[in-house]
Structure 1
Amino acid sequence: MNGCTLRIANWQNDSGALRAIREAVFIHEQGIPPELEWDEIDANCIHVLAMDSAGKPIGTARLSSDGSIGRMAVLKDWRGKGVGSALVQCLLGEARSRQIKQIGLNAQTYAVGFYLKFDFQPAGEEFLDAAIPHVRMVLRLSTDMVE
């Protein structure tokens, strides 16, 4: 991940940056209606924010209190450069530190291979969310791992 930094973001203080990334990826690029993108749990999630060397936001993801990773978004020009992997690793570390034993996520089907690299496993049939095919995936965490 060349020239990028990650930090835990606070929804109250960083919502502008987090929203800008998600609007670019989900609403403008993928055509997801805004009313399906925004929900009430953002304020209670752990968000991670990736920024380029100039401090411009380029990626984000969130971890909810029930152990679900979601709203994983990386700006188009930064895909394939390790940003998404860094976001996942950061959230897995946060989950371990909070003693979360299982992580779940709803992966867009094209991204299943990406999550398999982290040992997530499919858990169910393909389904549509916002008219986009998804697969539920889960990862059992060992909370006593040393990083």
Structure 2
Amino acid sequence: MSDAFTVRVAEDPADREACFAVRKEVFVAEQGVPEDIEYDAHDADAVHLLAVAEDGTPLGTARLLHGAAAAAKNGGDLSAGSLGRLAVLRRARGLGVGAALVRAVEHAARERGLTGVDLHAQTHALGFYERLGYQAYGPEFPDAGMPHRAMRRAL
């Protein structure tokens, strides 16, 4: 596989379906997250980002919550967005897709006037987010049966 890929906002139904298919493969099939909790009401209003190979094959996805949806996840702070559902297909890991998706979420947050991005990271991914400038805070907590920590980065 070539290392060439692009990240774009998923604007049309086909792009959104590609995002959901990546999430299903990574979270439901690979990690065992129950499908009924993987998709939620926030998906309708979220900004979805999609990473695709040069040939258009989906490689990864992430979503940005903003406004009340983000505030509900980050302690009521309306100035911060919430990065979530970051998923990269196994065959695309190690190519920089995850980092590019995080930066695209941050860009989308800045475009909406947000001054920070919060996220709930699986604990095995803390180092990945720390390398991108995120800092963990608060205690470890379970989410979908896996340990997580809250993290934040000012924009």
Same fold (TM over 0.5): yes
Q: Following the alignment from structure 1 to structure 2, what is the Cα–Cα distance between the partners of residues 119 and 110?
A: 16
| Equivalent pair of 1:58/1:78 in contact (CA under 8 Å) | yes
Which residue, out of 99, 108, 111, partners 2:113? 99
2:54 equivalent in structure 1: 53
- Alignment partner of 2:133: what SS? coil
- Alignment partner of 2:138: what SS? coil
State the Cα distance separating 1:13 from its structure 2 match. Answer: 4.5
Deviations 1:17-36 (A, max 9, x none): 11110000000000000011
| Equivalent pair of 2:16/2:48 in contact (CA under 8 Å) | no
1:144 equivalent in structure 2: none
| 1:50–1:61 distance in 2 versus 1, CA, 3 Å | same
Amino acid at match of 2:98: G
Deviations 1:54-86 (A, max 9, x none): 101110000001300000000001111100000
User: Which consecutive residues of structure 1, in runs of 5 or more, have no partner in the other structure?
Assistant: 142-147
User: Root-mean-square deviation (CA), in Å?
Assistant: 1.3
Report the count of equivalent residues: 141
Q: Following the alignment from structure 2 to structure 1, what is the Cα–Cα distance between the partners of residues 15 and 97?
A: 18
2:90 equivalent in structure 1: 76
| 1:11–1:23 distance in 2 versus 1, CA, 3 Å | farther
Kindly report which structure 2 residues correspond to 1:113-128, keeping only aligned pairs within 5 A, or say none.
113-128=127-142
Amino acid at match of 2:50: L
Runs (4 or more) in structure 1 with deviation over 2 Å come to 10-15
Q: Following the alignment from structure 1 to structure 2, what is the Cα–Cα distance between the partners of residues 91 and 73?
A: 13
